[in-house]
Amino acid sequence: MPSYDPNNIFAKILRGELPCHKVYEDDKVLAFLDIMPRAPGHTLVLPKAAARNLLDVEADDLAAVATAAQKIAKASMAVFNAEGVTLQQFNEGAGGQVVFHLHIHVIPRKAGVPMKPPATEKEKPEVLSDQALRLSAVLKA
């Protein structure tokens, strides 16, 4: 398996070199909104540790990501009036992974509303800012 690239876009976000619409952070995890969401509230949850994907992440970092993903899924159900939630996680190119830093997609869903195709349309920054504020407020409560 290829090694971890410390210059991937998520590593740059973790180092504060690139901005994000943060919704949650603790000592092991950062979660922020996807700028090309497949549905309103589409959040990316990743470990702060350098982990390429599920195949090389330390167990405690994976547990922290899973716990945070569950918290965000519960909060997003309320904030976005969702009727369900889709979690996605991809490993290596053949598995659909595009950014090679472990991350879980938490996507609030409504019945009968299809997800947008991946990476097709950037959301307006003001929409993302509003969504991030609303989601982070529920997560802090």
What are the tens digits of pLDDT across the range 73-90?
999 999 999 999 999 999
* 103 flagged as catalytic: yes
93 near 69, Cβ under 8 Å?
no
pTM over 0.75: yes
Taken in order of first residue, the domains within the chain and their CATH numbers are 9-140 (3.30.428.10)
Catalytic residue among 21, 42, 101, 103: 103
Residue 1 has a pLDDT of: 78
Alpha carbons within 13 A on the beta-carbon side of 73 = 17
Of residues 141 and 56, more confidence is placed in: 56
pLDDT value, residue 141: 78
Q: What one-letter code names the amino acid at 68?
A: A
Phi-psi region of 55 (alpha: psi -120 to 50; beta: other; left: phi over 0): alpha
Sheet with strand 84-88: strands edge to edge: 22-25, 29-33, 43-47, 104-109, 84-88
